[in-house]
A = this chain, B = another copy of it.
Amino acid sequence: MIIVNLCKKPAIKCICKFNYCKKLGRRNHNTYICKTNEIYYLFFRRIIMRTKIITLLIVLSISFSYTYSVEHPCLLLTQKDIKDIKKSIGKYPLFDKSFEELKKIADGAVISKIEVPIPKDADGGYTHEKHIKNYNEMYAAGTLFQITKNVKYAKFIRNMLVDYAELYLKIGLHPSENSEIKGKLFWQALFDEIWLVHAASAYDCVYEYMDEFDRFYVEKNLFYPMADFISDGNKNNYAMFNKMHYNSTWATAAVGMIGYVMGNKELIAKALYGSKLDGKSGFIRQLDILFSPDGYFTEGPYYQGYSIWPFMAFAQAIENQQPSINIFKYRNQILLKAVNTAIQCTYNNEFFNLNDALSKTIKTQEIVYAVDLAFKNNPTDKQLLSIAEKQESFTISDAGLETAKAIHQKKTKPFDFQSLLLRDGPLGDEGGIAVMRQGNVDKQTCLTFKATSHGLSHGHYDKLSVALYDNGNSILPDYGSVRFLNIESKHGGNYTIENYSWAMQSIAHNTVTVDEHSHFNADIKLSSANHSNIEFFDILKPEQQVVSGVENNAYNGVSMRRTTALIKLDKFDSPIIIDIFRVKSDSAHTLDFPFYYNGQLVSTNFDYKKNSTELKPLGKKNGYQHLWLEATAKPTKPVACFTFLKDNRFYSISSLVKENTELMLTRIGANDTNYNLRNEPCFMIRQPDSKKQTFVTIIEPHGEFDLTKETVSNSQSNVEALQLPIDNELFTAATIESKNGGNYIFICVNKDFGDSKSRSLKLNGKTISFIGNYYIALY
């Protein structure tokens, strides 16, 4: 037999049973057939060598039913879906538009030369982007093949998969040194996993088209080795596959989805229940651990948005193939809740910029998937349709179709953006993020208050930090991360060193830094071992929303409590923020309290000295080295007021200061040798020599700057006076006098919290009584 003769390793017995030579004239038998067998052999040997006794038994028991027969496609598309989609093309313009976009990708792909380059580049580099383009094209072509039955799409996928199989035989680990968990096609295994999720879908679509030999070839040379590599390729991969991390979600989804397509029960079981099949890791366990009971993903909104994709995609495949698991009902519908929570973590379509976050909108493909699939699995949740309308994009699946159809039938309800507390931790007992909103959704005033656990590897040292949005803009921003995704010239598209030296540090956030050191000394182990707590969150009255958080572990011997209220008062034209930040210690410290602002300084009620002819960094380390010290001031009034303009609105920060308070104006950008940072400005309050300090601050949107009509109104703060008549272990009381008349008192409780507890205190001889954790009234 000619095949055998061509083998260079006669020791390995060739088990081919088909007349492959004729079918694949262009292929070199050496690499094709013989390598196939070698891999096939090695595959089994590896399983046998590595598996321990107990799991060996399980594997063996599974091996009896090692593969089973599947009706394809079986992942996000089913035969029934295909029929529905075919019938619907031309009926729903929104869906048609997305279909045409996908068709354009597929049509462009099938007329281009297939290129499967040897992996070389990092994020954003040629080979990186090419392999991403390839999987997107295969995904598109697969869907198009199912809907149109035009074999040009199937042929394209088949040829590309065969090329990938050939490539995969040749390559080892990716040469780039940017990641500890390397892939083979990509610098990071994560991307290999994403590749496999897409390739599995494409293969699913052309499974019936490809003949037995083709399937055998790509499964044995590509898909099995890849699934094996991802789940068990080396120590790091094995650990990640079984970790509670969103990368593990991609890993399990990839292995599970290719498992479904190939009808391989072992892969499916590993994906669902972990390598040891004991349920202590794997996809199902991730659903228990990675989301809090409120559907909050511990790494923060950006990664919540990113991870929701493999969660929802794999879940849909599970729902299609193993409906008995009832995956969308699992843990009180945790996945549907997580989609809702992801959207709740946005302002004006942008995700909150917390932890390692890049700019991300609800229009990204992962949120399109998430929304379509969530709606399909809970069609009563019609507010999702308003998000889909904004996305203007649909997955070409029955989920996308159902969503587009419902919009077409005018079933859309506006999404109910709420004030809410998103608890962190699997049990919801590791602090949380409070979101407070007031006003019409587009121009809404929205404050986020972060008192969570660390947030795994993507967490920041930002206990009790706040961020403010208003009038459609980010006003007091959180910096997010320092990363230029996919831009190779910027540290290979990965996080740059400033992500740690700047973005993660406490001083980069709108919270208090003690003695120029970050919370937990920026030690992830320490920080991960502790979490802040939310003491109360009261939104009973929509015009009075109050949250209080505490952090006692960030610094030895220092307790920090922040109580922040979003309150609409009659004499103020917009809701204002009343912010009480108490810092207590037995020894004296220097406290830095920055307000990063987005806008143009308009006026201050203090004279500042600008460093006009020379700039120096504010400090040497812990993030301070990245701040230029632009100006300094000594306050001369009891309240320091700082006003800036953003778009057509003014904002004032009015803060109670002492004689020794120092005011500073800084700008990000020092020690930024590679132009990686954004040069954003900051108003900073420094309180030196302080054992007990309570920062009382009013943050106030006001007035209008109308460039269309060339008019201005209320360009000055409305705060006439600010005082702190009571500040003890039980209560803090602040009075706010408005320039429009009206003197308000705000009282918050500092211990013994309880919504129904009766309180009483004396002020200037008068007794004030109230129930609950806070009090606000004219005084």
A-side interface residues toward B, CB under 8 Å? 124, 129, 132-133, 136, 358-361, 363-365, 484-490, 493, 600-603, 610, 612-617, 628, 643, 645, 665, 667, 670-675, 678-679, 705, 707-713, 715-716
Q: How distant is the Cα of A610 from the Cα of B610 in the complex, in angstroms?
A: 22
> Is B129's CB under 8 angstroms from A712's CB?
yes
> Is A612's CB under 8 angstroms from B359's CB?
no
Q: How distant is the Cα of A229 from the Cα of B470 in the complex, in angstroms?
A: 45
Contacts of A610 in B (CB 8 A): 672-675
List the 4 closest A-B pairs by CB distance, nearest first: A489-B603, A615-B615, A486-B712, A601-B675
Contact A133/B360 with A602-B484, A614-B614, A615-B614 known, Cβ cut-off 8 Å: no
> Is B628's CB under 8 angstroms from A715's CB?
no
Within the complex, the shortest CB–CB distance from A307 to chain B, in Å, comes to 14
> Is B667's CB under 8 angstroms from A679's CB?
yes
Contacts of A486 in B (CB 8 A): 705, 710-712
Residue from B484, B602, B616 in contact with A613 in the complex, judged by beta carbons closer than 8 Å: B616
Q: List 16 A-B contacts (CB under 8 A).
A: A359-B707, A364-B707, A365-B708, A485-B707, A486-B710, A486-B712, A487-B705, A487-B715, A601-B675, A610-B675, A612-B673, A613-B616, A613-B671, A615-B615, A665-B675, A679-B679
Within the complex, the shortest CB–CB distance from A421 to chain B, in Å, comes to 29
Within the complex, the shortest CB–CB distance from A324 to chain B, in Å, comes to 35
Q: How distant is the Cα of A675 from the Cα of B601 in the complex, in angstroms?
A: 6
Q: How distant is the Cα of A248 from the Cα of B630 in the complex, in angstroms?
A: 43
> Is A670's CB under 8 angstroms from B613's CB?
yes
Q: How distant is the Cα of A715 from the Cα of B122 in the complex, in angstroms?
A: 13
Within the complex, the shortest CB–CB distance from A135 to chain B, in Å, comes to 11
Contact A715/B612 with A364-B708, A707-B360 known, Cβ cut-off 8 Å: no
A132, closest chain B residue (CB):
B711
Contact A707/B358 with A490-B602, A617-B613, A715-B489 known, Cβ cut-off 8 Å: yes
> Is A711's CB under 8 angstroms from B602's CB?
no
Within the complex, the shortest CB–CB distance from A127 to chain B, in Å, comes to 13
> Is A124's CB under 8 angstroms from B715's CB?
yes
Q: How distant is the Cα of A601 from the Cα of B675 in the complex, in angstroms?
A: 6
Given A489-B602, A601-B675, 12 new contacts (CB under 8 A): A129-B711, A132-B711, A358-B707, A364-B710, A484-B645, A487-B645, A490-B602, A490-B603, A493-B712, A610-B675, A612-B670, A614-B614
Within the complex, the shortest CB–CB distance from A450 to chain B, in Å, comes to 23
Contacts of A364 in B (CB 8 A): 707-710
Residue from B484, B678, B712 in contact with A124 in the complex, judged by beta carbons closer than 8 Å: B712
Contacts of A670 in B (CB 8 A): 612-613
Within the complex, the shortest CB–CB distance from A58 to chain B, in Å, comes to 38
A363, closest chain B residue (CB):
B708
Which of A488, A612, A667, A710 gathers most chain B CB within 10 Å?
A710
Q: How distant is the Cα of A665 from the Cα of B675 in the complex, in angstroms?
A: 10
A625, closest chain B residue (CB):
B613
A665, closest chain B residue (CB):
B675
Contacts of A672 in B (CB 8 A): 610, 612
Residue from B129, B487, B612, B643 in contact with A671 in the complex, judged by beta carbons closer than 8 Å: B612
Q: How distant is the Cα of A705 from the Cα of B487 in the complex, in angstroms?
A: 8
Contacts of A600 in B (CB 8 A): 484, 675, 678
A610, closest chain B residue (CB):
B673
Contacts of A715 in B (CB 8 A): 124, 487-489
A128, closest chain B residue (CB):
B712
Contacts of A359 in B (CB 8 A): 707
A360, closest chain B residue (CB):
B707
A671, closest chain B residue (CB):
B612
Contact A615/B628 with A679-B667, A712-B487 known, Cβ cut-off 8 Å: yes
Which of A600, A615, A628, A712 gathers most chain B CB within 10 Å?
A712
Within the complex, the shortest CB–CB distance from A185 to chain B, in Å, comes to 15
> Is B487's CB under 8 angstroms from A365's CB?
no
Within the complex, the shortest CB–CB distance from A388 to chain B, in Å, comes to 15
Q: How distant is the Cα of A205 from the Cα of B737 in the complex, in angstroms?
A: 44
Q: How distant is the Cα of A612 from the Cα of B628 in the complex, in angstroms?
A: 10
Contacts of A713 in B (CB 8 A): 129
Contacts of A133 in B (CB 8 A): 711
Q: How distant is the Cα of A488 from the Cα of B360 in the complex, in angstroms?
A: 37
Contacts of A675 in B (CB 8 A): 600-601, 610, 665
> Is A708's CB under 8 angstroms from B361's CB?
yes
Contacts of A665 in B (CB 8 A): 675
A612, closest chain B residue (CB):
B671
Contact A709/B365 with A489-B603, A615-B614, A615-B628 known, Cβ cut-off 8 Å: yes
Contacts of A667 in B (CB 8 A): 679
Q: How distant is the Cα of A645 from the Cα of B675 in the complex, in angstroms?
A: 12
Q: How distant is the Cα of A671 from the Cα of B614 in the complex, in angstroms?
A: 9
Within the complex, the shortest CB–CB distance from A393 to chain B, in Å, comes to 9
Contacts of A488 in B (CB 8 A): 712, 715
Q: How distant is the Cα of A358 from the Cα of B705 in the complex, in angstroms?
A: 13
